[in-house]
Structure formats: C-alpha cells, structure tokens
Amino acid sequence: MLHIDYRDSRPIYEQIVDGFTRLAISAVLTPDTQLPSVRQLAIELSINPNTIQRAYTELEKRGVTYSIKGRGSFISADCDTLRQTRLAELQADITSLAHEARQLGATDTMLLHWMQVQHTKEGGQP
C-alpha cells in the first residue's frame, strides 16, 4: 500500500505521512477506512514502531486521520479541505518554478509542453 524509499533523503516518518496523505486526498482511501495498526505496519515495512507512531501522530495532527485508543486509526471525513490546501501549495510551487524557468529563457510553448496542456482548439480527452 505504501512505498518507502530508503535512498530518499527525506525521513521515513515523513514519507509515511505524505503517502497516506496522498492516498486520502486522491480518494484512494475513503473516509473511515482503517489504517494498518502501528505494530502491523512496523512489521510490514520492517521499521521501528516508534517511527510509525510518529507518522500516525503527525497524520492526526494534520487532520488526515483520526485515532481511537484501543480501536485503531482511520481516514478522516473532510479530505476536501486537504485537497484545497494541497492545490494551493501546488499553485505556489508551479508559479515559482515557472517564473524561474522563464528567467532562464523558457518560452510559453516550452512550458505548455512540459505541463502537457491541450492547447489546440479541439477539446480534451475522450
């Protein structure tokens, strides 16, 4: 379900947080879906349970999940807000990168190509 890259410079707990966040935002995991238990996921990923717990604590703090002692951790209901937040981040990042690319000589045509925008008149996808 999750993919951890040990060569990645980002810490494991952060990769777990991002992974479940993406799954929740993209609706791959629907609200109230139960996450693997702290110990179970630790075994699956061969990672210390403390690291998993740190990720789960962060996920709950961010509102991606909710936890019930003795029962488990579950995907939150309001992922719409999270999606809007993520889209705002993406907008800021893309705008900044596009600005830098333009300063280095990138043209509109190049940028459109990079983003694979359907810039012809006839419409989008089937």
Partner DNA sequence: TATCTGTACTAACACATATAGTACAGATAG
Partner DNA sequence: CTATCTGTACTATATGTGTTAGTACAGATA
Interface residues with DNA (CB under 7 A)? 11-14, 35, 37-40, 47-51, 53-54, 56-57, 60, 67-73
For the bound state, the minimum distance from the C-beta of residue 23 to a copy of itself, rounded and expressed in Å, comes to 12
Between 46 and 125, whose beta carbon lies closer to a copy of itself?
Answer: 125
DSSP letter at 26 equals: T
49 touches which of a copy of itself, DNA, none (CB within 5 to 8 A by kind)? DNA
Residues facing 74 on adjacent strands: 34, 66
Site mask, a copy of itself, residues 8-37, x = CB under 8 A? Answer: -----------------xx-----------
C-beta separation of 87 from 100 below 8 A: no
Two tokens, residue 21: 């966040």
Helix intervals (H) in 8-62: 12-25, 38-45, 49-61
